[in-house]
């Protein structure tokens, strides 16, 4: 049971990833405007849950994979999971840092981190450019991420938009 719980899907439905990114975009914009601590906690929890379990324990991930994509978008396009997990880990670092900065009474820096997250979530959700996936592929090319981590990733273009 725990093996399934603490796993990340591979492949990932790109439409689900883009839906999650759209939700993150909205939440990051609201967080940057309001600096409301519950939203900051929700964002940090969401990224933590997605890194550890994919959509399994993420409210936004579940909303995307169980409701929005299957009932509204009704499209599937598989993309490699490891780069998406890497992107979620970067989001975890940004959202957790922003949360800690808010708690530490550094709202200007926290706001900046939320706006950076919003920018990258906008790119993912609107034009299918996953900056974390692009960085993942670059790290693979220079040998910092071993090829065995994602053999099927080598032939995919993570940085550009994909045709539907």
Confidence category of residue 5, pLDDT binned at 50, 70, 90: low
For residue 145, give both structure tokens. Answer: 């991420």
For residue 10, give both structure tokens. Answer: 């591979």
Statement: residue 156 has pLDDT above 60: no
Statement: residue 55 has pLDDT above 80: yes
Instruction: Give this prediction's pTM.
Output: 0.87
Q: Determine the pLDDT at residue 112.
A: 98
Q: Determine the pLDDT at residue 9.
A: 78
Q: Determine the pLDDT at residue 3.
A: 54
Q: Residue ranges of the domains in the chain?
A: 7-153
Q: What is the mean pLDDT of the chain?
A: 89
User: Is the model more confident about 1 or about 97?
Assistant: 97
């Amino acid at each position: 049971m725990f093996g399934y719980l603490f796993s990340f899907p591979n492949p990932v439905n790109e439409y689900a990833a883009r839906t999650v990114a759209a939700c993150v975009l909205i939440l990051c914009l609201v967080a940057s405007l309001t600096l409301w601590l519950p939203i900051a906690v929700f964002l940090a929890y969401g990224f933590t849950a997605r890194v550890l379990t994919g959509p399994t324990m993420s409210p936004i991930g579940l909303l995307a994979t169980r409701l929005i994509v299957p009932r509204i978008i009704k499209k599937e396009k598989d993309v490699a999971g490891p780069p998406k997990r890497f992107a979620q880990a970067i989001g975890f670092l940004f959202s957790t840092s922003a949360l800690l900065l808010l708690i530490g009474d550094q709202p200007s820096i926290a706001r900046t981190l939320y706006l950076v997250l919003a920018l990258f979530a906008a790119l993912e959700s609107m034009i299918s450019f996953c900056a974390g996936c692009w960085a993942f592929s670059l790290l693979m090319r220079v040998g910092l991420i071993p090829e065995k981590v994602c053999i099927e990733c080598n032939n995919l273009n993570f940085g550009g938009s994909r045709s539907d």
